[in-house]
Amino acid sequence: MNTPIKSINLLYYLVPALLGAVLIAGVAGLQRQRLQVLQSPAAGAQSLGQLQIAEQQEQVQLTVLQNSPSFGFDNLVANWAFLNFLQYFGNYDVRSQIGYRTSPKFFEVIVDKDPYFTLPYLFLSTSTSLYAGEPERTVELMAKGLAAMTPETPEGGYRVWRYKGIDHLLFLGDGPGARESFETAAAWADRSTDPGAAAVAEASRQTAAYLAQNPASRAAQISAWIQVINYTNDEQTQRIAVERIEALGGEILVLDQGQVTVRYKADE
């Protein structure tokens, strides 16, 4: 007489595991498709049309992933999307031919599935704003992710406010929006136990102060580009940032600790 109850209890524990296995199998299948693309002939041996078709397929796969139920494994889906973005971004041969237009779609999937996953915000904001040329979309997605956060949760959420401020300042020319983001970054960093939070709070307040005096402050722009250099390890991004700083009249200085600072004349 107890068998049905035991069966129900067993199913109670098995169903989530089975659904998770199905999800993992689906993700693995998409990963195999991506590996097949990576193992196909080099980009130079493929026509532009073939590369564009592969790009469209990537977008379709991400849309399916975004709209499919993840059965409580949202963080797994977000992790998978980020790992695939890193492969996508690092394929310089292909990107040099067809660009980075799928970057915002990777960003959408990650923010929708796991807005607390803060690491991708840095990479995706750079790729979407700097390379795909869609800073408005970057700011929109960061705002969506930040709406799900609090000053304490997740740890390091203050950094996303800083990234948002950088986009407002450097790519949208929105001084007031940048100032608000930097001030919020400082306020959140003050409440964080992260070892690097105090330095971020100080830098954010300094940038906000520049913007309070002059919304188009050259010092604030240079400060933001310095943060781009210090935050990213991508050489192409760093090179662009150095060029922008030099165009603003700054001279790059590398400190003993490897950190980058700039010498420049104050705003006239």
Please give the pLDDT value at position 237. 81
pLDDT tens for the chain, residues 1 to 268: 444 444 444 333 333 333 344 444 444 455 445 545 444 555 556 788 999 999 999 999 999 999 998 888 999 999 999 999 999 999 989 998 888 999 999 999 999 999 999 999 999 999 999 888 899 999 999 999 999 999 999 999 999 999 999 999 988 889 999 999 999 999 999 999 999 999 999 999 999 999 999 887 788 888 888 878 877 767 878 888 888 889 888 888 887 777 777 888 765 4
3-class state of residue 175 by DSSP: helix
Q: Where are the domains of the chain?
A: 9-36+46-114, 119-268
The per-residue pLDDT for 44 is: 53
Predicted local confidence at residue 11, as pLDDT: 36
Alpha helices in 127-234 (DSSP H): 135-147, 157-170, 175-190, 197-213, 218-231
Query: Is the Cα dihedral 44, 47, 52, 56 positive or negative?
Result: negative
Give Cβ neighbours of residue 23 (< 8 Å, ≥ 6 apart): 70, 71, 73, 76, 77
Looking at residue 13, what is its pLDDT?
36
pLDDT at 79: 96
CA 257 to chain centre: 26
What does the block give as tokens for 207? 């940038």
| Closest to 120 in 3D by CA, of 109, 132, 131 | 109
Q: With b meaning 16 or more CB within 10 Å and e meaning fewer, what string describes 181-192?
A: bbbbbbebbeeb
Q: Which two tokens stand for residue 124?
A: 């995706």
Give the list of residues 6+ apart from residue 204 with CB closer than 8 angstroms, or none.
Answer: 161, 162, 165, 182, 183, 185, 186, 189
What pLDDT score does 181 carry? Answer: 98
DSSP 69-83: --TT-HHHHHHHHHH
Could you tell me the two tokens for 76? 């797994």
CB 91 within 8 A of CB 43: yes
pLDDT of residue 130: 87
